Amino acid sequence: MSHPTVTVPIREALRYAQERAERLSRTQQLEIGTDLFIRIGPGGRKFLLFTLDGEPDRSAAEAIAAALGLRHPQYSWHQGETLRSLTVVEEGAAHLPEAPGLDGPEN
């Protein structure tokens, strides 16, 4: 059975995923643009931003951090086997857990 497609504002989708990450203590992943993905870590105060071809822009990470209400986000790069991700962690939040499958062939 096919489900209907629903369009929602990106800010609403990000906040919903953030709330789920916090409530379920599980990483939430969204495709938020053409070849742009986000993984919001458990707790909702940290995320990885990545593309499958190239690197994400810091300006996108800054806009997402603002939409998620992160106060004093810290930005750094993470080099995996095949992907380079931009890591954003709110100051005082725990470090990002390993994101299983981030560098695997399924991504």
Q: What is the CATH number of the domain that holds 53?
A: 3.30.200
Report if residue 101 sits inside a domain. Answer: no
CA distance 104 to 68: 27
CA distance 90 to 101: 23
- The model's pLDDT over 39-88, given as tens digits with 9 standing for 90+, comes to 999 999 999 999 999 999 999 999 999 999 999 999 999 988 888 999 99
Report if residue 45 sits inside a domain. Answer: yes
Q: Which domain holds residue 85?
A: 10-90
pTM of the shown model: 0.80
Q: How far is CA 74 from the centre of its chain?
A: 14
Q: How high is the mean pLDDT of the chain?
A: 86
CA distance 9 to 32: 10
Give me the pLDDT at residue 18, please.
Answer: 96
Report if residue 104 sits inside a domain. Answer: no
Pseudo-torsion of CA 41, 47, 52, 54, nearest 10°?
A: -160
Residue closest to 37 by CA, chosen among 20, 60, 21, 65: 60
